[in-house]
A and B are shown apart, each in its own frame.
Chain A
Amino acid sequence: MTSLKLNLGPQHPSTHGVLRLILELEGELITRCEPDVGYLHRGMEKMAEKLSYIQYLPLVDRIDYLAGFFYSELLCRNIEKALSLELSPRVKAIRVMLLELNRISSHLLWIGAFLMDLGAVSPFFYAFREREVILKYFEKISGQRMMNNYFVFGGVRNDIFDIEEIERFLEILPHKLDDYESIITDNLIFKKRTVGKGVLDPKIALNFGITGPNLRASGVGYDTRKKDSLYEGFSFSPIVLGNQDSWTRYKIRILEIHESIRIITQAIEKIKANPELNNNFINPLNIVLPEGEYYSEIEAPRGVASCYIKSDGKKSPYRLKWRTGSYYAVNLLRKLLVGEYLNDAIAIAGSLDIILPEVDK
């Protein structure tokens, strides 16, 4: 059987960005899949070595433009740990609220994109209708919808206001989620396309460095929010589902949105509890970290994200490395797609929630 070499991407509607998969097909069966990345490589780590910390902060939202808050929080947390800047309780509550809102908007976009991969047209627009409310709120608070540059070392740029809009939104959201669930979750065709497809065994997942919702859908309850200092005092339980296929990866993200809603309601109470926002800002022009290495870690929507800074006492870091979730999910495709058919392959790749800016950094 002569094998057909097929280029999936880089300009392809269902790869959410510029991912190129070189597939070898026999008929429609994939025998080898080799991802080729680097089309969106902006040299984030090289830029860091040339810019001072305050100059690098706005660029950090671009690492994963759907979850910008997470990466500016990572950098701020690293610097605050190095310079031991204390955060006031209100700032912590604001940060948790905006992080979880960003997680909801990222999951909503994924639901729309995943359904569009499978061919259903309308859930995409319904998910974007909800996401628009969140982005409008980000714009009102921070000034930009996605590249918000709102967290600063030692606090947030300016205070949060109009929380009632978010409270109203949190009442509507569960009903809208039930709308999606009634269209999608038990739909016969959706179940045929996703149940039992792309089974990810926990051992393989751990071996491939998969973290976040994909890992929790395979039964391993690893959620860094439990050990995260920012999330102390928030009662939440990470969701772990067992049966490892695309359908559970879809279901776990719906449950995570419900979980985030609970966290946000607690955060809003904390914000209302302590009204005054006392940031302790530092002079931005000469932020110099004492020599040494600093790690910080956070539970981004697509997996554990972490930032490593090695500083040698100069204005810009000696070495800065990012760890992102989708980077290892793309590597997983090499094993997961082998033995699948072409239209199942697209559905499985979609279910892993791969975003290319994260992969290419």
Chain B
Amino acid sequence: MEKKEFEPKIIAFVCNWCTYAGADLTGTSRMKYASNVRVVRFPCTGRIDFMLLLKAFAEGADGIIVSGCHPNDCHYTAGNFHARRRWMVLRGLMDFLGIDIRRIRFSWVSAGEGAKWAQLVNEHVETVRELGPYENYKKAAEYLKEGMYNG
């Protein structure tokens, strides 16, 4: 039997006002794109706490997409500016800890950019497919093998 290709699990954290609407447009325009993504809708990218990204990996995600309104388009004026700073700081920290930041894709996708969403998802699925399952994180989650943990 032919070996099945690895299908990465991707979690997308998106803003309600732009990217979520953009992804909707992708669908209503009948554009085809990879089905590996589970979308989680937020009121704003400013609401996307860094812990959500960590939890997605901990729960078995192989890749993450974070996307919201383009700069100056935030429904709440500045949520995406705050988010951008947070990601700039977080990304450096994650890299320093050896978390594979290639697995996290940040983007701005507006409500009108249905095609961009499809392209973004397809690209990221391919990137993560090449990287393979996120074994390091999965291994770290299996620490109670003997019913105990002492480091």
State whether these chains interact.
Answer: no
Task: Please give the residue numbers on chain A whose beta carbons come within 8 Å of chain B beta carbons, in ascending order.
Answer: none
